[in-house]
A and B are shown apart, each in its own frame.
Chain A
């Protein structure tokens, strides 16, 4: 467990370093994820070693959002004033995003596998 944590923190640190060094708009942890992916592709033993603890950590991913969510305390006033606009925007946009993304991938994948099948 400790070794996995060290690897994850190391890649996050490397990601932050690259992000700052190159002045990229991409956040450090996302670059860290890309770097870890590349490293596992080069060294499959790393992937096998990380698998168990990483899966365990990801199973409790929702917990990590609780502290930020409790911050709703700071915005009670604004949310009370604009609840209709905020609520409608969140629901409408979430539905649209899920449906459009899924339909786009489905349509595109059908065309793509068909085209590759003909080659």
Chain B
């Protein structure tokens, strides 16, 4: 095969969604395999490794993000059906949910407010720009909802997406150790705290602890999306951060 022919094939493939869709799935599968093989080493979180590998590949080939996203959007889209699917583990853990509904409701409001206010306060003290503050506020909310909140307030939604993913990885990595440290053993409480702070990526981690932890993490993620979309807009306007 001549180099010229190879270039032609590259030009054809790089313009089709197939290439970047496959790259995304394969990069994740390899990263996930590595993560399992190293006994889930925190620094080898598969989302983190996949992002590093993909950004490296796109930079090396001079591919722009919108071109990449044309293929990757098919994976991104599944966030919607996956959010709906969270109702299933929730249904199978309903008896415990009914028993604990009040403590969980109080924990939810506390978690949603702490996540937004502490992030904005710390970044403000360290002189972050107003746009960064707006993007930070919904960082504990699941990606599609967080992006919608930022957009509504006049912030940059794509920056929010990254902060959401970073928060998810952080929560998944430090959450279990942190909860061991403060001696929280109940799987429902552990899952709920991880889900409230670090949404879907935390929920994926909680499912590795147990189905019960995962179910309550998913519940916290769904409820936090609900609570934050109601609480954050008036709160940020009240603080004078958003128009």
Contact = CB atoms under 8 A, between A and B. Distances in A.
A8 B84 CA distance: 6
Interface string A86-117: 10111111111111111111101100100000
Contacts of B171: 94, 98
B122 A66 contact: no
Contact of B86 (A33, A78, A98): A33
Given A66-B54, A68-B161, 11 more contacts: A61-B200, A61-B207, A69-B165, A70-B54, A75-B159, A78-B129, A88-B126, A98-B175, A101-B193, A105-B100, A112-B102
B28 A66 contact: yes
Interface string A14-39: 01000000000111111011101100
A50 B129 CA distance: 45
Interface size class of A (residues with CB under 8 A): 35 or more
Contact of B123 (A28, A89, A103): A89
Contacts of A68: 76, 143, 147, 161-162, 164-165
Interface stretch (B2-10, B36-44, B184-192, B235-243): B184-192
Contacts of B186: 106, 109
Contacts of A58: 82, 85-86, 88-89, 203-204, 207, 214, 218
B163 interface: yes
Contacts of A105: 100, 103-104, 106-107, 189, 192-193
Contacts of A98: 171, 174-175, 178-179, 193-194, 196-198
Interface of A: 5, 8-9, 11-12, 15, 25-30, 32-34, 36-37, 40-41, 47, 50-51, 54-55, 57-75, 78-79, 82, 84-86, 88-106, 108-109, 112
